[in-house]
Amino acid sequence: MTKTLRHPGVVRVTHWLTFIAFIALLVTGGEIVISHPRFYWGEVGNVNTKPLFVIPIPSSRDTVPTSYNYVMPDQNGWSRALHFEAAWVAVLAGLVYGIYGLWSGHFKNLIPERRDWNWRSYHARIAKYLRRVPPDPAEERSYNVLQRTAYVVVIFVLFPLMIWTGLAMSPSFTAAFPWTAALVGGRQSARTIHFFASGLLLLFLFVHVAMVALSGFRNRMRAMITGYTRDSEESR
């Protein structure tokens, strides 16, 4: 049985650190939203401002008007502290991963090839997933077009957007660099964009797990934990 190195240690460590940080950010971000489930566009937003939209859930603050006659437990204190700490873990892990990806050429494996930039390639890959066709040996050692596209969008679009909008919500940061909030329409606009980008990342998490499962879960998980994949093993 032949073993092939698929994921170097830097990729594995940053992957799992980012995963843990993302779960922490998701939980704490949800708690922060509960404290004020109203979203605005522009620089200013409060209970006296007409919201862009409202999430129909109870708030954890009795000063925030909702259609419910009760208040959720207020967990805003610890959730904000942990949210900021988890964000720094994600940023530092992403920074290390980005430097490694540029230095080692790892990102070349994530960019879809020229022949894949068409609907036929995506349609064929989706059809293969739906038919539960096992991946061929080349796919077991690399990424298919759907995986590459999803990773490129997350790494080069959604992740930087989350960092940007997160910083744009910080009064101390925008005091020094006001253009970070101005370019997205204001701090409240940054919060709204941050919320939708978080939803897209959550969607990616579900899609990512589904693609891993359909591409051979045992072998893929083994590769992300130990670094090695077994070439002679059938995808299961």
pLDDT digits (tens, 9 = 90+) for 56-71: 999 999 899 888 888 9
Classify domain 3-230 at the CATH topology level. Fumarate Reductase Cytochrome B subunit (1.20.950)
For the chain, give the secondary structure using H, E and C: CCEEECCCHHHHHHHHHHHHHHHHHHHHHHHHHHHCCEECCCCCCCCCCCCCEECCCCCCCCCCCCCCCCCCCCCHHHHHHHHHHHHHHHHHHHHHHHHHHHHHCHHHHCCCCHHHCCHHHHHHHHHHHHCCCCCCHHHHHCCCHHHHHHHHHHHHHHHHHHHHHHHHCCHHHHHHCCHHHHCCCCHHHHHHHHHHHHHHHHHHHHHHHHHHHHCCHHHHHHHHHHCEEECCCCCC
Query: What integer pLDDT is reported at residue 116 of this predicted model?
Result: 67
* pLDDT over 80 (residue 230): no
pTM metric for this prediction: 0.85
Q: Mind listing the pLDDT tens digit for each residue in 7-34?
A: 889 999 999 999 999 999 999 999 999 9
Q: What percent of the chain has pLDDT over 90?
A: 57
The CA-atom distances, in angstroms, between 160 and each of 23, 62, 90, 152, 191 are: 18, 34, 11, 12, 14
Token pair recorded at residue 188: 């409240």
Query: What integer pLDDT is reported at residue 216 of this predicted model?
Result: 75
Query: What integer pLDDT is reported at residue 137 of this predicted model?
Result: 59
Residue-range domain boundaries for the chain = 3-230
